């Protein structure tokens, strides 16, 4: 997917090597600091992140736009809901 100019750059959070519950907690903190509509890219190696990150996103009013495995890490594209 190609981001449009309106999307702007996404914030990134590299949480590789961290274990539960840190990836979820740090993701929640980052999402809460984003402006509505902003994107966050999160990379994690903790296997529980597959469950924890989508839950953290929902808790913070964000949606998971995409999930992929890249270079041994789970990479999530999250977007904070507008308004």
Answer yes or no: is 47 within a domain. yes
Answer yes or no: is 46 within a domain. yes
Give the Å distances, CA to CA, from 36 to 2, 32, 80, 81. Answer: 20, 9, 5, 6
Q: Are 45 and 16 in contact (CB under 8 A)?
A: yes
How many domains in the chain? Answer: 1
Answer yes or no: is 2 within a domain. no
Which domain, by its residues, includes 75? Answer: 11-80
What parts of the chain have a pLDDT lower than 70? Answer: 1-8
Answer yes or no: is 1 within a domain. no
The predicted-structure confidence for 45-64, as pLDDT tens digits, reads as follows: 999 999 999 999 999 999 99
pLDDT at 4: 35
DSSP, collapsed to helix, strand or coil, labels residue 60 as: coil
CATH number for 46: 3.30.110.40
pLDDT at 7: 58
Answer yes or no: is 3 within a domain. no
Does pTM top 0.75 for this prediction? yes
Answer yes or no: is 67 within a domain. yes
Q: Which helix (H) or strand (E) holds 31?
A: helix 22-33
Supply the Cα-derived Rg of the chain in whole angstroms: 12
Q: Which helix (H) or strand (E) holds 50?
A: helix 49-59
């Amino acid at each position: 997917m190609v981001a449009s100019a309106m999307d702007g750059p996404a914030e990134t959070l590299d949480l590789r090597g961290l274990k539960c519950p840190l990836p979820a907690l740090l993701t929640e903190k980052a999402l809460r600091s984003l402006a509505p509509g902003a994107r966050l890219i999160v990379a994690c190696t903790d296997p529980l992140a597959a469950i924890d990150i989508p839950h953290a996103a929902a808790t913070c009013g964000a949606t998971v736009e995409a999930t992929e495995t890249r270079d041994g890490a789970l990479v999530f594209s999250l977007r904070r809901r507008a308004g």
